[in-house]
Structure 1
Amino acid sequence: MTALLVAGCSGPDRDAPEPTPSPSVAPSFAPGAAGAGDPYFPTYGNGGYDVAGYDLQVAYTPASGQLDGTATITATATQDLSSFHLDLAHLVAGRVTVDGQAATSRADGNELVVTPAAGIVKGRAFTVVVDYGGKPQVLANETLGTGGWLRTKDGGFALGQPESASTWFPVNDHPSDKATFALAMTVPEGLEVISNGLPGQRSTAAGRTTWRWAERKPLASYLAFVVIGQYRVRTGTHAGKPMIIALPESLPADGDAARSVGRTGEVADFLATQFGPYPFDSYGAVVLDDDRVGYALETQSRPVYGNTFFVGRPNVTVIAHELAHQWYGDSVTVARWQDIWLNEGFATYAEWLWQEHTGERTVQQSFDRVYSGFDWSVPTGDPGPDGIFGDAVYQRGAMAVQALRRTIGDPAFFALLKSWAAEHRDGTVRTEDFIAAAERAAGKDLGDFFEAWLFGKVKPPLP
């Protein structure tokens, strides 16, 4: 809210004429954009509206690979809309309504174009209901890999970055549009379903079980996930919140994966001393025993780990990385993919903090191991669309964080880590926002510092 202050005015001017009402302006309806306008991925997401929440009712049959769902999407128009796009890949939409009225829809590649019976004026809230179905698949990117729905012999899972959600529900698939997420997933009785947030009531009828999950804090679409199959699900509490850990029955109940994710609470508590209070309503972890998943992903409130991280040894460092994302990446989310160092640089730095905490090596020793022989040709703050998962983002990003610490000192640095997470909680940010926050914390201009450490292409001098 902005207040208008008038100097020397203690009350209304009795002699001033009554204001003349502005003539009403007729809406200027136009289609919403087919992309969110991301500089790296212009076709990702959509324009013209802001989603508040997704409420999904989905049924999946592993034997056939068929998925059928109804998505209820609540949103607000950010322009006068004559039509709008939803991202929906490899699935077919049936009946579509907007505010209960039948709407027309058509597929345009991986886009579902919806035309409501009447235009939607800017600022108006509206509800879209889409019936859809088919056999979901992954989205493949030549350099970034695949993301989305993967079928397994006893179920399936949906996972991936930067795209995945559109392979199993209609969505504005870009991190700039965060929304709440609720899922009711119906599967054959005897299978488990794990997803984001808090578990709801489970019900079984006619040989099928419906599992319910809800994430009440806004979530970026790539952080939504579902895992279906034969899992051991351990439910407890930690710090007064639910702790839910799921491991596939194909892995030993007391093996390296189980021991590693079993330390989730311990790691989260340590990170809270560095970053401030844990930002979500539940904790947890899911392990996948699938050769196609050689990565871990910070799926909101419950990270998912490929078992490759735990072969032959426990690995708590990866737990620290993905849990750090709950602050940096999940709660505080990048508004464009170019700024992903704000996710990965901080999560890599959290690994270094954890290793120092456990006595493995100091943060400065971790920095020195990378700094001496690093290739500085790719800038952290602008790595290019093919470089968003490269060393310039992870390792150089973490080095930039440590260099900032050495530049502004520990008191200002650790205060910044907490204030950044608190002030932007549940929101979206850009690199410019962090630079401004760092300069406020330091009490000085840091333009040259960030130009060298984030955007330069030569080795920066040590602070």
Structure 2
Amino acid sequence: MTRFVSLLLLLLVFTRIARAQEDEAYCKQMSAVQENEMRIAERRLQGRITRVTASEDIDIHYHRCNWYVDPAVNAIYGTVTTYFSALRDLNTVYFDLTYNMLADSVLYHGKRLSHGRSGDSLSCPLPVGISSGSFDSITVCYHGAPLSSGFGSFVLGKHAGIPAMFTLSEPYGAKDWWPCKNSVDDKIDSLDVTIRTPVAYTGVSNGLRTGSYTSGDTAVNIWKHRYPITSYLVAIAATNYQKFDKRVQLGSVLLPMETFCYPESFTTFESQTQSTLDALQLYHNLFGPYPFLKEKYGHTQFAWGGGEEHQTNSFVKDPGESLCAHELAHQWFGDKITCAAFTDIWLNEGFATHSASMFMESRHPESTLTTRRSEISNITSNPAGSVFVDDTTSVSRIFDFRLTYLKGSHLLYMLRLQMGDAAFWRGVQQYLKDERLAYRYARTRDLQQHLEASCNCTLDSFFRQWVYGQGYPSYRIDWTQIGTETVKFRISQSTSHSSVAMFQLKVPIRFYGKDRDTTLLADNQSNGQLYIRDIGFVADSVAFDPDLWLISGNNRVQRNDSLAAPDRNIVIYPNPFHEECEVMLTDFPGAYAAVIMYGANGQTLFKNVQPLYQGKAFVRIDGRRLAASTYFLLLIDQDGRKTTVPVQKF
């Protein structure tokens, strides 16, 4: 403990004598994964205040952090200088810092300030108020024993008998070990970190290591990061790391990849790093440039199962293909663009899970259907639950594997099917390039807008049903053969949760015949919708969604040759028609029926509420102004029962 006290005094002196020009702010520039993140954060939050108390009226530009840690001791000694601009007139600045962390002094322009504590809030009254738009800085010198107790935000452990420590702050744990703005609404524009440890250890952090030396019995490692970063992604780790370097060609840039691992894991990490380099190239080409090309990507080994996507430096327990692909994808989805609130955490975790799945499917295509089937089975194991997080005070809800990770991932499979891969990835690339979002924050609506612009369509019903709604559909497909080249089929649907009456989707149905097959993508907009399609052969069997693109469960397919007979109570003549068609209703219940014609794009072209006489009605529809295409007649009886019949104009 004597060495710690001595170092604290050294840090205080260092802060006072630092030159002003050095204080210049820089300009703005899978189940194991989930279980780890959930367990860590759940323990951290039990009985703890999670509300952000830091000043919402400051914009943080830069942190200069000096930390001393000993992996064998649960303690941190630090000096953090924060540069900020005032968003309104200020008399007091607040930081988030857990109540048991002791602020030894607060410095303002080289002079000590009085400071106060209230729960997890550190208040710093200013000697003179500063006006809105002013640029200023405050230094906090502090120490304490973080409360993680082996889990979560500040963790101690051992490997091969050697002490090791690491931080993992998502979602609310940054304040457990350093004074910050513990939120996802103000990214730090630039960061400098100096880590001091006993000489046997190496301290690692975000960005580039710009210096490493020893001073007596102390090892010093200096890191800089020049990209905006949210507070929960700032991280440090320390043990007797062994380091190795790789490089990967990304366009014209030869990107360094830097790994710090335990000596006993060196061979394993070195032999498996190529998988991550391959994933870097895949993502770089598909999503757009790696977001931190001017610095590096790296792995740091830590002692907890799973991983965490610390910016430019993912912490992982082992270099497994899927885990490393997941954490790497977060550099785009979660780091470059961070969810603006944990209600939208699926933008981070859904995309990372989906990206890892794509990578694994490209490397192990033989396992694709087995994995998709298992994940869909997990999603549909419960009839309820939305991707949108309705309780961000519950970490188990934020990191719900079934909803946030798997359902979030499979929403993206469905969007790729609905939009087409080219339009989907074009929209995603524009989302990642959007200057309002890049290196900042996004909500679900931001992604939706870019996807809609890419496909020139509306996705309101999809996002309403699949992100904010709950449950999933169960389909029943009745089909029959008509002649030698045509099939007729009906799509019926029930839903597992009352929040969605019907999921409107394009549904893949594959027809098999002798030595051939074809897949139709039927746009299912109403329950019981009928389709007539030419497939060019006689089908002998049918499969629903054979490649498992949709979230659905308990589906049934059956041959129903009664579909070949015309509906007795609905006669449409002629069909196909050229100028007009006639609709005759017989034996319809009630006193009236609604007759609606709409196009494939959902636009209503004809609508009439027709009185019935003894259950009969006759309606004539003028189609002379309609283009040659397939249209749909929707007939609704007085009790609300619906029947949809396709009609063709030639």
Counterpart in the other structure of 1:322 = 327
Corresponding residue for 2:86? 77
| Cα contact 2:385–2:471 (8 A) shared by 1 | no
Give the match for residue 280 of structure 2.
268
Displacement of 1:177: 1.4
Of the candidates 431, 439, 460, which is equivalent to residue 420 of structure 1?
431
Partner of 2:199: 189
Q: Map Cα deviations across residues 119-149 of structure 1 (whole Å, 9 max, x no partner).
A: 2222211111111112233289xxxxx5211
Q: Is the 8 A contact 1:261 1:285 kept in 2?
A: no
Cα distance in 1, alignment partners of residues 368 and 87 from structure 2: 45
| Residue in structure 2 matched with residue 133 of structure 1 by the alignment | 143
Secondary structure of 2:427's match?
Answer: helix
Report whether the alignment pairs 1:248 with 2:262. yes
- Partner in structure 1 of residue 389 of structure 2: 382
Distance 1:227 1:349, change over 3 A: same
- Cα 1:194–1:252 change in 2 (3 A) is same
Tell me which of 326, 339, 344 is aligned to 1:339. 344
2:51 maps to 1:51: no
Q: Which amino acid aligns with 1:184?
A: T
What is the distance in 1 between the residues matched to 2:273 and 2:155? 23
Task: Indicate the SS of the match to 2:130.
Answer: coil
Whole-angstrom distance in 1 between the partners of 2:102 and 2:204 = 25
Structure 2 equivalent of residue 223 of structure 1: 233
Structure 2 CA distance for partners of 1:229 and 1:336, relative to 1, 3 Å:
same
Aligned partner letter, 2:338: T
TM-superposed deviation, 1:306 = 2.3
> What's the CA shift for 1:253?
2.4
Displaced runs of 4 or more, over 6 A: 362-365
Trace 1:84-123 onto structure 2 (pairs within 5 A).
84-89=93-98, 90-123=100-133
For 2:368 and 2:448, the matched residues in 1 are separated by 22
Higher strand fraction: Structure 1 or Structure 2? 2
Assess, with a 3 A threshold, how the Cα gap between structure 1 residues 128 and 202 changes in structure 2: closer, same or farther: same
Alignment of 1:269-288 (within 5 A): 269-280=281-292, 281-288=295-302
Q: Distance in 2 between matches of 1:408 and 1:175?
A: 31
Residues 45/389 of structure 1: CA separation in 2 closer, same or farther (3 Å cut): farther
Q: How big is each residue's C-alpha offset from its partner over 1:46-89, in whole Å with a ceiling of 9 and x where there is no partner?
A: 41111111111122234544422111111111222221221112
Percent of paired sites with the same residue: 26
SS of residue paired to 1:71: strand
Partners of 1:446 and 1:320 in 2: CA distance: 29
The CA distance in 2 between the partners of 1:269 and 1:456, in whole Å, is 36
Q: Name the count of aligned residue pairs.
A: 408
Name the counterpart of 1:30. Answer: none
Match of 2:45 in 1: none
Aligned mate of 2:443, from 430, 434, 437: 430
SS in 1 for 2:385: coil
> Alpha-carbon deviation of 1:95?
1.8
Q: 1:42 to 1:67 in 2, by over 3 A?
A: closer
Which amino acid in 1 is paired with 2:285? T
Q: Deviations over 1:358-399 (max 9, x none)?
A: 133586775454335343511102342221101211111111
Q: Which whole-Å CA distance do the structure 2 matches of 1:63 and 1:351 have between them?
A: 35
Instruction: Give the CA RMSD over aligned residues.
Output: 2.3
1:155 shift after superposition: 4.1
Matched residue, 1:259: 271
Is 2:196–2:221's contact at 8 Å kept on the other side of the alignment? Answer: yes
1:401 is the counterpart of 2:412: yes
* Cα separation, 2, equivalents of 1:303 and 1:272: 17
Runs of 5+ in structure 2 lacking a partner?
Answer: 1-48, 474-502, 507-650
Aligned counterpart in structure 2 of residue 124 of structure 1, from 126, 134, 138: 134
Pick closer, same or farther for the CA change 1:245–1:209 going to 2, 3 Å.
same
Q: Does 1:440 align with 2:453?
A: yes
Q: Distance in 1 between matches of 2:371 and 2:450?
A: 25
Instruction: Report the CA distance shift for 1:231/1:441 in structure 2 as closer, same or farther (over 3 A).
Output: same
Alpha-carbon separation, structure 1, partners of 2:271 and 2:390: 36
1:174 aligns with 2:176: no
Q: Structure 1 length normalisation: TM-score?
A: 0.82
Closer, same or farther in 2 for the Cα pair 1:60/1:355, shift >3 Å?
A: closer
* In 2: Cα distance, 1:267 partner to 1:366 partner: 19
The aligned counterpart of 1:202 is: 212
Distance in 2 of aligned mates of 1:264 and 1:412: 27
Q: Is the Cα contact below 8 Å between 1:67 and 1:135 reproduced in 2? A: yes
Give secondary structure in 2 for the equivalent of 1:395. helix
Aligned to 1:17: none
Tell me, yes or no, if the aligned pair for 2:50 and 2:172 is still in contact at 8 Å. no
Instruction: Give the secondary-structure state (helix, strand or coil) at the position aligned to 1:152.
Output: strand
Structure 2 Cα separation of the partners of residues 376 and 214 of structure 1: 48
Preserved contact between residue 229 and residue 335 of structure 2 (Cα < 8 Å): yes
Distance 1:397 1:376, change over 3 A: farther
Q: Distance in 1 between matches of 2:54 and 2:369?
A: 39
Cα distance change on mapping 1:426 and 1:382 into 2, 3 Å: same
Cα distance, 1:340 vs structure 2:
0.4
C-alpha distance 46-340 of structure 1, shift in aligned 2 (>3 A): farther
Residue ranges of structure 1 left out of the alignment (5+ in a row) = 1-39, 141-145
Contact 1:223 1:300 in 2 (8 A): yes
Cα 1:109/1:259, change in 2 over 3 Å: farther
User: Do the aligned partners of 2:153 and 2:167 also contact (CA within 8 Å) in 1?
Assistant: yes
1:65–1:151 CA contact under 8 A, matched in 2: yes
What pairs with 1:352-391 in structure 2 (closer than 5 Å)? 352-361=357-366, 366-372=371-377, 373-385=380-392, 386=394, 387-390=397-400, 391=402
| Conserved 8 A contact 1:376-1:392 | no
| Equivalences for residues 306-321 of structure 1 within 5 A | 306-307=317-318, 315-321=320-326
Structure 1: distance between partners of 2:240 and 2:291: 30
Change (3 A) 1:206 1:165: same
Contact 1:66–1:134, Cα closer than 8 Å, also in 2 = yes
Query: 196-205 or 64-73: which moved more?
Result: 64-73
SS at match of 2:127: coil
Q: Which one-letter code corresponds to 1:326 in the other structure? A: Q
The change in CA–CA distance for 1:375 and 1:383 in structure 2 (over 3 A counts) is farther
For residues 139 and 109 of structure 1, do their structure 2 counterparts lie closer, same or farther at Cα, with a shift above 3 Å needed? farther
Q: Which residue of 1 aligns with 2:223?
A: 213
Q: Once structures 1 and 2 are overlaid, which stretch shifts more, 89-98 or 328-337?
A: 89-98
